[in-house]
């Protein structure tokens, strides 16, 4: 299942890690994850979300504010009954852990490019295979996944097609144009339109959209800590001015949560 990120040969277990026939070896961290992101594949020293962003997301999600989103994601995953699944861009593991709970008999993998995120994520469900790896060079074999979950994550479509077994699919969860609209209006002079169907034009040959739905609800941001964490876990936290961020944290308000789910199948 696992392949070497340097030569793409199969990886086999060795003492405290994995190795390929060519002698490339990757040790398992004390937290339990494998780092399969070679230094030559990094664009920075510590790519991905930093510890501040990861901790803000962990606090916000563990507070249950996006619980309806996770519940519907896991229902959709369970309906597909995959034998082997991958959470690509798993972050700190909130959604991954709930998918794992819904699929107790399936073999699960999860990866993120952020080492800080994966260090925290693997505490949630130690029995999963947790990986620090690139989404553009996923160290898993061709046609090895029945389901790939992509939650608020960028995606390499060619990699997704390579990884999916025929009849398997990508379960994508992402924002609609209405998502957090009230927050964006407080942060920017002009709120830009967001086309939540743009990704459909990127679906490669050999895959097709089989199902779409949207989930909407209103979320009350009652405390300064919740508002600060929401800012810190989104790109809006560093795009907006310090004055606008402070104003958002200062006063309670409500936001609209609006999320689109797509099931995109790999054709047989």
Residue 95 counted as an annotated binding residue:
no
Phi/psi of residue 265, nearest 5 degrees: -90, 150
CB-based contact 125:106 (threshold 8 Å): no
Contact call for residues 36 and 133 (beta carbons, < 8 A):
yes
What secondary structure letter does DSSP report for 240? S
- Any known ligand binding at 92? yes
How would you classify residue 91: left for phi > 0, otherwise alpha for psi between -120 and 50, otherwise beta?
Answer: left
**179 is annotated as contributing to ligand binding:** yes
- Spatial distance between the Cα atoms of 141 and 110, rounded to a whole number of angstroms: 14
Q: Is 211 a known ligand-binding residue?
A: no
Q: Among 21, 52, 48, which residue's Cα sits nearest to residue 35?
A: 48
- The answer to whether the annotation marks 65 as part of a ligand binding site is no
Apex CA 76: angle with CA 196 and CA 79, to 5°? Answer: 145
**Token pair for 40:** 């030559």
Residue 66 annotated as part of some ligand binding site? yes
CB 174 within 8 A of CB 199: yes
- Sort 81 into a burial class: Cβ within 10 Å, 0-12 / 13-18 / 19+: exposed
121 alpha carbon, distance to own chain's centre? 11
Taking the CA atoms of residue 207, residue 168, residue 165 and residue 113 in that order, the dihedral angle to the nearest 10 degrees is 90
The answer to whether 111 touches 86, Cβ cutoff 8 Å, is yes
User: Measured between alpha carbons, how far is 261 from 173 in angstroms, rounded to an integer?
Assistant: 5
For residue 54, what are its two tokens?
């990861």
Q: Per the annotation, where are the binding residues for S-adenosyl-L-methionine?
A: 66, 92-93, 179
Q: Per the annotation, where are the binding residues?
A: 4, 7, 20, 24, 66, 92-93, 179
Q: Per the annotation, where are the binding residues for Zn(2+)?
A: 4, 7, 20, 24
């Amino acid at each position: 299942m696992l392949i070497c990120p340097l030569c793409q040969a199969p990886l086999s277990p060795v003492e405290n890690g994995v190795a390929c026939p060519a002698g490339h070896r990757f040790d398992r961290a004390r937290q339990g994850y494998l780092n399969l992101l070679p230094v030559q594949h990094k664009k920075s020293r510590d790519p991905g979300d930093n510890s501040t962003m990861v901790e803000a997301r962990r606090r916000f999600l563990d507070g249950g504010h996006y619980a309806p989103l996770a519940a519907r994601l896991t229902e959709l995953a369970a309906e597909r009954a995959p034998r082997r699944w991958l959470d690509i861009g798993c972050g700190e593991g909130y959604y991954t852990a709930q998918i794992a709970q819904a699929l107790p008999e399936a073999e699960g993998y999860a990866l993120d490019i952020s080492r800080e995120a994966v260090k925290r994520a693997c505490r949630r469900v130690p029995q999963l295979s947790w990986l620090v790896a690139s989404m553009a060079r996923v160290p898993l074999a061709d046609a090895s996944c029945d389901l790939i979950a992509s939650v608020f994550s960028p995606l390499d479509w060619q990699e997704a097609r390579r990884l999916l077994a025929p009849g398997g699919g990508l379960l994508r969860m992402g924002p609609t144009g209405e998502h957090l609209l009230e927050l964006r209006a407080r942060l920017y002079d002009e709120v830009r339109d967001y086309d939540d169907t743009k990704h459909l034009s990127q679906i490669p040959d050999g895959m097709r959209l089989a199902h779409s739905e949207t989930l909407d609800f209103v979320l009350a941001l009652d405390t300064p800590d919740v508002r600060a964490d929401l800012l810190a876990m989104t790109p809006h936290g560093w795009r907006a001015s310090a004055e606008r961020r402070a104003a958002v944290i200062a006063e309670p308000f409500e936001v609209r949560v609006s999320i689109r789910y797509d099931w995109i199948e790999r054709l047989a």
